[in-house]
Structure 1
């Protein structure tokens, strides 16, 4: 199960909350895995799920070639999506 440190779309572990410590202050970081912008496409569960569907339809590519892959499969990473956004 995911935590506040995980991407709301793909479950990537940012290492710190992409929505700030309060969960209400988006950082607008770009996820190196799915390329969602924290605070834009992932504001609501509906938006996060729609973005996820588009990303999965593209084959769930790792988006940032400069960021080392986290070693998880897409299926495993998706188990880390925060509650309410899965």
Structure 2
């Protein structure tokens, strides 16, 4: 079994838990506090993930949830954590 991935497919934010389940194949539909993607909806394929990311970056890559503390990473740093296949 593959190691569970805990980072957002769009922005690389580390959720601390796997947003696609421990097998990386069961979406939780959580909302990312960074890019606001819904795990399992806008990130269900590499193509849709890249399209969502392009729109988010075009908006200036804003931190979306004012109630969630910023993780301290720059957008460029965070993007290095995007899971393989979704870069």
Q: Please indicate the TM-score interval, normalised by the length of the shorter structure.
A: over 0.9
Unpaired segments of 5 or more residues in structure 2? none
Please state if 1:59 is matched with 2:54: no
Question: What per-residue deviation string (whole Å, max 9, x for no partner) do you get for residues 12-52 of structure 1?
Answer: 00001000001111000000000000000000000000000
So what's the TM-score if we normalise by structure 2? 0.95
Matches within 5 A, 1:23-62: 23-62=24-63
Structure 1 ranges of 4+ moved more than 4 A: none
Partner residue, 2:18: 17
Q: How big is the alpha-carbon RMSD for the aligned residues of Structure 1 and Structure 2? A: 0.8
C-alpha distance in structure 2 between counterparts of 1:24 and 1:73, whole Å: 28
So what's the TM-score if we normalise by structure 1? 0.96
